């Protein structure tokens, strides 16, 4: 049974704990006077971040957890302050007493610690990595994020679905279209409507365009981190070309506002020409890159995530598929009819994650050609009903899950689990016994979202 998410809701007289698996959902009510629950992390290690988040957000105690450190609350976050409780309404939080964070470290003769971040030399969001080293060899790594604490979950409370969209689609720039489609599916469920096929195809086209932008960027940077800069130059040109196509089609480079309920007539001929050119470019790139032995010496057997660990940590997306775990929310009739093919590798290393991205770019271009049609659509939404709604989308990083509760026509609880929230927790497995110089290479091969975690 695959674990997906665990989160809390503040009800009038109790907390409700929601635990979601791939086959079932469980709900548990706990007293606000004694808000104690048992951990799931002994069976599902990735549950620990969800539980630590509940502890910070609501003050819920995980009685038998092996890790009770704060997750979101950093060193000067005030004690006994839980912003997701309904009773919390302050617009400002004063600094509390500084309390050092206790990192997980490996001790022993000759073992030392290396810190990377949270301020990085490149264009990257805040994130800290703490390594225990024996010479160049990495013994252990701990990931620590959540430096922004944007309070998106709290911010969305009391907003209509329409007003919330501009915030939701900006949660993670890598997955703008995916977040919008999750929002769209909840709107449709809450209004008891079915999307016209032409609109569904267009939104799927944009989702695959977003996927190739993200993958092409990675296909440039991964070899670059192994010292092969020519790949970065070539793929950056392709990624920029795709990004400009996104702007041409949606009026924004990241596709903000792209997923709606009207559609103008599309110039399919020019898009088919562009897709053919992109297909030729990625085929040339694949033929070129596979014939560079010195590059594959760095990619092969580096940053291995074995299948057993990929399953244990409930990984998703490219990270899971590269280890032989065939998970993809596009395994459904609509996508299969439009040419979806599962990409899968078994070695679980940087090379496997690189190959998955090439295969997915090629398959996305094929699907995009099948999804194109000229129809214009103007469609009116019905009003939404109160209730609890959820949706899934396969983003470029992996399975995205969103849940929204609507009460009196506005959002009462918003929760989203970015695929990176799962995969970051498995990153330390990939580091063991590789050298620290391979950390950027391994990290980029997963290319996880920082913003998607930092709600």
pLDDT of 14 above 80:
yes
d(CA 121, CA 141): 19
Average pLDDT for 284-299: 95
What confidence tens digit (pLDDT) does each residue in 185-204 have?
999 999 999 999 999 999 99
pLDDT of 122 above 80:
no
Handedness of CA 308, 435, 115, 320 (dihedral sign): negative
- For residues 119 and 148, the answer to whether their CB atoms sit within 8 Å is no
- DSSP structural state of residue 195: -
d(CA 365, CA 348): 25
Handedness of CA 142, 422, 164, 403 (dihedral sign): negative
Average pLDDT for 150-166: 96
Whole-model pTM: value is 0.96
Residue with tokens 């053919």: 276
pLDDT the model gives residue 264:
84
Residues 60, 129, 168, CA angle at the centre, nearest 5°? 55
Query: What percentage of the chain has pLDDT greater than the value 70?
Result: 100
Pairing relationship of beta strands 410-417 and 399-407 according to DSSP bridges: antiparallel
**Beta strand extents in 97-169 (DSSP E only):** 111-116, 128-134, 137-144
- DSSP structural state of residue 148: S
Please, which pLDDT band fits residue 232 given cuts at 50, 70 and 90?
very high
Give the CB-side neighbour count of residue 150, counting CA atoms within 13 A: 16
Average pLDDT for 103-121: 88
The per-residue pLDDT of the chain, averaged, comes to 95
d(CA 322, CA 442): 13
Q: How far apart are the first and last CA of the chain?
A: 27
d(CA 175, CA 182): 11
pLDDT the model gives residue 419:
97
Annotated domain spans of the chain: 3-144, 157-446
pLDDT of 333 above 80:
yes
Backbone torsion region of residue 108, taken as left when φ is above 0, otherwise alpha when ψ lies between -120 and 50, otherwise beta: left
* Fold exhibited by the domain 157-446: Cytochrome-c3 Hydrogenase; chain B (1.10.645)
Of residues 31, 34, 43, the one with CA closest to residue 19 = 43
Collapsing DSSP states into helix, strand and coil, what is residue 143?
strand
pLDDT the model gives residue 38:
96
pLDDT of 379 above 80:
no
d(CA 119, CA 107): 26
Report cis status (omega within 30 of 0) of the bond before 118.
Answer: yes
Residue 134: phi and psi, rounded to 5, are: -125, 95
Both tokens of 366, joined, read 């094929």
Average pLDDT for 111-129: 86
- For residues 187 and 404, the answer to whether their CB atoms sit within 8 Å is no
Of the listed ranges 192-196, 280-284, 388-392, the one predicted with least confidence: 192-196
Give the number of other Cβ atoms within 10 Å of residue 130's Cβ: 18
- For residues 384 and 186, the answer to whether their CB atoms sit within 8 Å is no
Please, which pLDDT band fits residue 119 given cuts at 50, 70 and 90?
confident
Both tokens of 295, joined, read 């590059």
Average pLDDT for 260-264: 87
What confidence tens digit (pLDDT) does each residue in 314-330 have?
999 999 999 999 999 99
d(CA 59, CA 228): 48
Q: Distance from CA of residue 11 to its chain's centroid?
A: 28
Both tokens of 432, joined, read 């063991």
């Amino acid at each position: 049974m695959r674990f997906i998410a665990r989160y809390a809701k503040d009800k009038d007289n109790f907390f409700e704990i929601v635990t979601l698996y791939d086959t079932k959902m469980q709900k548990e009510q706990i007293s606000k006077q004694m808000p104690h629950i048992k951990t799931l992390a002994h069976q599902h290690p990735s549950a620990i971040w969800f539980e630590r988040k509940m502890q910070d957000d609501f003050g819920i105690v995980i009685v038998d957890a092996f890790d009770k450190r704060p997750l979101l609350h950093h060193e000067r976050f005030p004690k006994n302050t839980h912003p997701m409780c309904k009773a919390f309404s302050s617009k400002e939080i004063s600094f509390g007493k500084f309390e050092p964070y206790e990192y997980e470290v490996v001790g022993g003769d000759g073992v030392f610690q290396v810190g990377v971040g949270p301020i990085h030399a490149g264009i990257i969001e805040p994130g800290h990595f703490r390594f225990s080293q024996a010479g160049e060899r990495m013994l252990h790594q701990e990931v620590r994020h959540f430096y922004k604490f944007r309070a998106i979950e709290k911010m969305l409370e009391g907003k209509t679905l329409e007003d919330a969209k501009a915030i939701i689609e900006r949660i993670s720039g890598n997955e703008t279209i995916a977040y919008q489609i999750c929002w769209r599916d909840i709107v449709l469920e809450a209004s008891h409507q079915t999307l016209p096929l032409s609109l569904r195809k267009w939104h799927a086209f944009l989702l695959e365009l977003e996927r190739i932008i993200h993958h092409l960027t990675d296909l440039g940077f991964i070899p670059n981190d192994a010292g092969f800069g020519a790949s970065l130059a070539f793929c950056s040109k392709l990624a920029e070309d795709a990004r400009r196509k996104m702007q041409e089609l949606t009026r924004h480079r990241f596709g903000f506002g792209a997923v709606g309920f009207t559609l103008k007539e599309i110039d399919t001929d020019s898009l088919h020409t562009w897709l053919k050119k992109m297909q030729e470019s990625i085929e040339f790139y694949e033929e070129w890159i596979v014939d560079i032995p010195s590059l594959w010496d760095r990619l092969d057997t580096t940053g291995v995530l074995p299948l057993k660990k990929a399953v244990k940590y409930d990984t998703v997306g490219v990270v899971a598929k590269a280890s032989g775990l065939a998970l993809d929310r596009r395994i459904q009739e609509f996508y299969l009819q439009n040419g979806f093919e599962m990409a899968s590798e078994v070695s679980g290393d940087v090379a496997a994650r690189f190959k998955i991205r090439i295969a997915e770019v090629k398959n996305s271009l094929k699907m995009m050609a099948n999804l194109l049609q000229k129809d214009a659509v103007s469609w009116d939404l019905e009003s939404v009903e109160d209730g609890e709604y959820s949706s899934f989308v396969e983003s470029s990083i992996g399975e995205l899950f969103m849940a929204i509760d609507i009460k009196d026509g506005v959002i009462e609880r918003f929760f989203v689990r970015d695929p990176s929230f799962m995969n970051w927790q498995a990153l330390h497995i990939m580091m063991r016994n590789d050298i620290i110089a391979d950390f950027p290479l391994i990290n980029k091969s997963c290319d996880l979202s920082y913003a998607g975690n930092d709600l």
